Structure 1
């Protein structure tokens, strides 16, 4: 169709657009249905434990998120959001939620002896004090599990001698089992050999009852013992039924405390406010080692990052010249440490620094106890990190040098600048614009470089008065030892130190990125 306008050219009218195809191809529809079905299945799977544990806030968030995703991908609108949603959900699940959970844990006393509720602590205290007394009820016992025979949760299948009623006992108490067929009820009865392999667990296992608990007496018999310590609701205390001694509940610390200050080992989880944070800064036994570790942590991160950068840059500049022959072969040799697994190389270096048979002492004819002194141990881990880290800096510096036009250096030489002057005033500033973000990320990595310390020295050497904090410990290894050490886990305290680490790295990174932006503005 044509349209003519008086006094103007004749123009061709555009054809009307065809109606937009909705839904896409059959393959696209099938893929969308599969992914949405998978999302719904995951949501349903996650909903059951939330309902079972009465986590209604989490359930509401799960329902809202699932409904939002279904609305987003079943409507043709909000196209940009369709691409952003998956990454946003994964960011919340794997980044935001762990940070928030760690922060919330830092304000509690969560750890060994303080994991559950007060009621669970009472049950644990009473169960642990159970002893067999004359006249204790006896039961026939079968050891069972609801999972793998070697690792699944234990269940006591007991038979009442009077009624022949079979009951299943776990940490929550007794439950009647219909009939006598344990397999039909979903239990796997352990053989004598399987039960013998778990004899320690079976001996420690107890099924709480109204007056005490049921414990095993061998692998085929069980008894209902009497609790030596019982909870008295009137005084909110634990009372020893033999001596009459009491331990009163102290909600501020989440434990039962005696008149002499003695605490029962089993407590419960409570909020402690800023107690974990103030403990780091005010407790003399902790503040001193913490500050020493913090200073060494900065020194290690700066030395590792700066040393690897300087060495990598020098090697990159040496091989950047066209006069060097065989540059490709040299570059392959220089990046070999980067191609090898750091886990294995750290263990190799640990043996190389061995006092008796290490290659370092053998090569130089020395007898240095590298890991026996604070200074030598710290020097050793920095040297190891220098060897492992310079290939990365060599690679990125090589790429950045190749991106700088050679005409700039030639122009500086024509203007009379020396080689060092041209490098300092032209090449280095341009390099720093490109490499500063990588240096910041390298600093953050080295500040939390767990493997470099734990696989080489394990934090040693340790002072005689503090076996929990070694001379080469970083904050991350110190935190790990607190959270999972043999002296008992203190997750709340470890989470508080993790928050300190996060804030330190965040502040350093923010300041560095601000300086980087200023550097970019100067050279833009």
Structure 2
């Protein structure tokens, strides 16, 4: 082989692994798209379908050619940023303009199906079937849509139907019946007992129409019956009629959502559907006196909690770092190792252990000090307990940061200050502290932002309590993020739309406060 041909040969050899890696990557992307697109279409997840297709196109454009070299490095991070940060923000903002919550999660059609299904009643002459539950290939086994495969115990006839399709006979060649139950069916995936149990709540809302006055309802894990439908929906007039009483229910607005209402204008059923409500959630947040008061109180305590946690942990950590930075102290490594122990214990374990320390009757603090303080029953004491626990968990971090910053300050600077007549206290306050703040101020801002949304410290220690009588939205130690959690998942019913509006407000407040803090920390640059 000539010397002129050798470089070309080596170049072709070194590109083979890159070509193989490119083919594997693009093939994997194509396989994922081929698998997930039908599922997204079946579940009508249009936004995620668009995001997935755009990501796949971008990957093929960037990695299928030798061009776009910078893009090969920027694209992965950009995709992760879009999927895990930007998309949740967009979804949260979008939900803040809706009534999304308990009873308003699905479409209007799903709400009507649920209302009609709940009106199906068993009669003395109801027909019973052996039931199997199935979904289409690739369908969601927990949420459906479901198809009921029914076997008549008397005749052995197999019937099938779903919420939109009336009960119809199924050819015997399309199903496999074992011990009176369908175990396999053409074009369907039959769910096993565990899957049926997981989806049982959704199955209870399913009604398979038989005719205008009857439908099939699920009873137990493997039985179904034909019952009489008391309610019927007329699509032309958009009304629901009660066959027993003759009463007709029309669509009317109650609060910020539409419901089926009676003649008196009151809602007849608890079910509604997902609707856009404009800025109603934000108006409710800022104009409802009770909610605005709770939000304001939570905001003030959130500021106190975040600032108090940062200041206390920094002061204690900085003081300990100063003491242990003195070369004259012996055993500094041992002391430093001991001080880092709280930081080595997982946070959730520390919080759960400390929550038991505050027990009024047999907690370690009251037992050791001979006190009888109701730490978790008094709002002021509960706040003090939260700050004390956060101090215990947070000062090792500040100790580590301050120790590193102190060791980075040249000894010449401190010696020059002493030569100018400054004592140790003056050197620490006027020389060491400003220089240290230059290094740690961004970390203090980050620590403030973390504690501003420190959900675990509240939920695992006090669960937001104590609560005033009749108050379920906000407890005495609830910060904004834990208050949002209570609104979204609280015992009074989930209200994701309103919780999203509060989340957007919290996001804006956090950004504004962080910007203000960074602006003030710029003053420290003059120290350099």
Report the secondary structure of 1:254's partner residue: strand
Q: Mean alpha-carbon deviation: is it higher for 223-232 or for 398-407? A: 223-232
Correspondence 1:90 to 2:92: no
Q: Partners of 1:161 and 1:183 in 2: how far apart? A: 15
Q: Partners of 2:158 and 2:434 in 1: how far apart? A: 80
Alignment of 1:6-405 (within 5 A): 21=11, 24-54=14-44, 58-133=48-123, 136=126, 138-144=127-133, 156-159=148-151, 165-171=157-163, 173=165, 174=167, 177-179=170-172, 180-181=175-176, 182-185=182-185, 186-188=188-190, 201=201, 204=204, 206-209=206-209, 210-211=211-212, 212-216=214-218, 221-250=223-252, 253-263=257-267, 264-405=269-410
Q: Partners of 2:196 and 2:497 in 1: how far apart? A: 36
Gap change, CA 1:261 and 1:416, over 3 Å in 2: farther
Contact 1:202/1:216, CA 8 A, preserved across alignment: no
Q: Partners of 1:375 and 1:246 in 2: how far apart? A: 54
Correspondence 1:456 to 2:461: yes
Provide structure 2 residue ranges, at least 5 long, that are not aligned to the other structure. 177-181
Q: Deviations over 1:245-264 (max 9, x none)?
A: 34321366132233434222
Q: Deviations over 1:475-508 (max 9, x none)?
A: 1111111111222111111111111111111111
Gap change, CA 1:261 and 1:345, over 3 Å in 2: farther
Gap change, CA 1:89 and 1:177, over 3 Å in 2: farther
CA displacement at 1:190 relative to structure 2: 5.6
Report the secondary structure of 2:372's partner residue: coil
CA displacement at 1:296 relative to structure 2: 0.8
CA displacement at 1:419 relative to structure 2: 2.5
TM-score, reference length from structure 1: 0.88
Contact 1:248/1:257, CA 8 A, preserved across alignment: yes
Q: Deviations over 1:396-442 (max 9, x none)?
A: 11111111111111111111223233223322222112111111111
In the alignment, what sits opposite 2:179?
none
Report the secondary structure of 1:248's partner residue: strand
Correspondence 1:499 to 2:504: yes
Q: Partners of 1:23 and 1:104 in 2: how far apart? A: 52
Q: Deviations over 1:9-55 (max 9, x none)?
A: xxxxxx9xx77946844333322322222222222233222332455
Q: Partners of 2:385 and 2:42 in 1: how far apart? A: 52
Q: Mean alpha-carbon deviation: is it higher for 73-82 or for 117-126? A: 73-82
Alpha-carbon RMSD across the aligned residues, in angstroms, is: 3.0
Contact 2:464/2:478, CA 8 A, preserved across alignment: yes
CA displacement at 1:203 relative to structure 2: 8.5
Report the secondary structure of 2:240's partner residue: strand
Q: Partners of 2:21 and 2:199 in 1: how far apart? A: 51
Q: Partners of 1:345 and 1:484 in 2: how far apart? A: 25
Gap change, CA 1:292 and 1:220, over 3 Å in 2: closer
Report the secondary structure of 2:224's partner residue: strand
Q: Mean alpha-carbon deviation: is it higher for 325-334 or for 32-41? A: 32-41
Q: Partners of 1:306 and 1:170 in 2: how far apart? A: 61
Contact 1:156/1:169, CA 8 A, preserved across alignment: yes
Contact 1:254/1:269, CA 8 A, preserved across alignment: no
Q: Mean alpha-carbon deviation: is it higher for 248-257 or for 384-393? A: 248-257
Q: Partners of 1:441 and 1:220 in 2: how far apart? A: 55
CA displacement at 1:110 relative to structure 2: 0.5
Report the secondary structure of 2:257's partner residue: coil
Q: Deviations over 1:279-301 (max 9, x none)?
A: 11111231211211111111111
Q: Partners of 1:511 and 1:23 in 2: how far apart? A: 56
Contact 1:305/1:439, CA 8 A, preserved across alignment: yes
TM-score, reference length from structure 2: 0.87
Q: Mean alpha-carbon deviation: is it higher for 330-339 or for 261-270? A: 261-270
Correspondence 1:428 to 2:430: no
In the alignment, what sits opposite 1:5?
none
CA displacement at 1:134 relative to structure 2: 5.9
Q: Partners of 2:46 and 2:356 in 1: how far apart? A: 53
Contact 1:167/1:176, CA 8 A, preserved across alignment: yes
Q: Deviations over 1:199-229 (max 9, x none)?
A: 9759935333153431245666532222222
Q: Partners of 1:213 and 1:49 in 2: how far apart? A: 28
Q: Partners of 1:345 and 1:490 in 2: how far apart? A: 31
Q: Deviations over 1:289-332 (max 9, x none)?
A: 12111111111111111111111111111111111111111110
Provide structure 1 residue ranges, at least 5 long, that are not aligned to the other structure. 1-14
Q: Mean alpha-carbon deviation: is it higher for 368-377 or for 462-471? A: 462-471
Q: Mean alpha-carbon deviation: is it higher for 269-278 or for 59-68? A: 59-68
Correspondence 1:523 to 2:515: no
CA displacement at 1:169 relative to structure 2: 4.4
